[in-house]
Amino acid sequence: MTIIRSARALAAGATLLLGAVCSSLAADLPVKAAPVPKATPWVLDVHGYADLTFANTRVTNGGLYLYNRGFVYQIDTGLSLDIYKNPNGFINSFSVFGGVWNEFWNDPTPGARVWQEMDMWAGFSVGFAQYWTFTAQHVQFHFPNAIPTAYNYDFKLSFNDAFLGLPVVFNPYIDVFYNAAGGSTVVLGKRSGGTRVSIGMVPTVAWQKYIGVPLTISMPTWVTVGDKSFWNREDGTTNLCGTTSLAPCATNSVGYYSTGLQAKLAIVDTIIPKRLGSWYLKAGVQYYHLQNDALLAAQATTIGTTFPNSKRDIVVGSGGLGFSF
């Protein structure tokens, strides 16, 4: 019995010793790390915005002066989806987007409606060569007062010069607008197939780093030109110029010039939490000089005036608020 007990004790001791050795060896073995997901440039990031603007009047992107009394308010909403992001390649980003814009007039003329216009658009944007962006979109102008829907295409090439480190970022661009169908967007122009080009820049200063206030000041400045028929189709129905408002209008490839001063103040997250979006207040003035006589003659339709009494110089004051996420 003594021999048996000794054998059992020896076996138990050996088992404990073997377990200790195995545990020690296991502790010294390297732990296999969890696999790291491979980085991919393909993403699905959603962004959106909503913006409310009040203004004393409006001059369209084509140079058409619309309202001579009351005020307008505009609601602008949109969504974008980032699909591709690669800061190290030639193609740096690709996004698709869409939006809806509505304009309302508080003091419409007899027979007109408060709701004046609804625009819808969809397109894509490509960032490339680090500092360049190309945007293409289909845009529709819808009107409630039996005016045909205008179908348009817009192409924009812009350059971001922030990498230069200058106090002012100039953001130059060129924008090509093509009116495919639905009638002239400037009343007296070619009814379809017209093209205008805007060449401009948006000098911008972000004051956060200078005065500690999240205020951005910009000065949008551009000139809009186009083929002469974009402004004046010269088919006998556009003779609304001269002292009698019955003479042919001079043809001109220049539509108008514009410059202004716009301010945007970010609302800090201590007031509105970031989870509710990035909110801002905005205000500004924009000056327009209508160079093309056909744009002056078109005011007979938009505000019911005569050519001698039409407005060549117009100031649009605006303010509002919005948010993005």
34-58 confidence digits (pLDDT tens): 666 668 999 999 999 999 999 999 9
Residue 7 belongs to some domain of the structure: no
pLDDT higher than threshold 70 for residue 231: yes
Q: Summarize the confidence of residues 59-77 as an average pLDDT.
A: 98
Residue 146 confidence (pLDDT): 76
Check which CATH number belongs to the domain holding 148 and give it. 2.40.160.40
Residue 103 belongs to some domain of the structure: yes
Residue 19 belongs to some domain of the structure: no
Find the domain containing 95 and state its range.
Answer: 42-324
Residue 188 belongs to some domain of the structure: yes
Q: How many domains does the chain have?
A: 1
234-261 pLDDT, tens digit per residue, is 999 999 999 999 999 999 999 999 999 9
- Considering Cα of 245, then 63, then 301, then 315, what sign does the dihedral take? negative
Higher pLDDT, 17 or 120: 120
Residue 35 confidence (pLDDT): 66
171-212 pLDDT, tens digit per residue, is 999 999 999 999 999 999 999 999 999 999 999 999 999 999
Q: Summarize the confidence of residues 87-111 as an average pLDDT.
A: 96
> Residue 220 corresponds to which amino acid?
P
Residue 24 belongs to some domain of the structure: no
> Residue 155 corresponds to which amino acid?
F
CA–CA separation, 259 vs 78, rounded Å?
26
Q: Summarize the confidence of residues 90-115 as an average pLDDT.
A: 96
Task: Please answer whether residues 114 and 108 qualify as being in contact, where contact means their C-beta atoms are separated by less than 8 angstroms.
Answer: yes
> Residue 42 corresponds to which amino acid?
W
Residue 225 confidence (pLDDT): 98
Residue 16 belongs to some domain of the structure: no
Residue 208 belongs to some domain of the structure: yes
Confidence of residue 10 (pLDDT cuts 50, 70, 90): very low
Q: Look up the pTM and report it.
A: 0.87
Collapsing DSSP states into helix, strand and coil, what is residue 47?
strand
CA–CA separation, 186 vs 293, rounded Å?
12
Residue 6 belongs to some domain of the structure: no
282-319 pLDDT, tens digit per residue, is 999 999 999 999 999 999 999 999 999 999 999 999 99
Residue 33 confidence (pLDDT): 63
Residue 179 confidence (pLDDT): 97
Confidence of residue 145 (pLDDT cuts 50, 70, 90): confident
Residue 26 confidence (pLDDT): 47
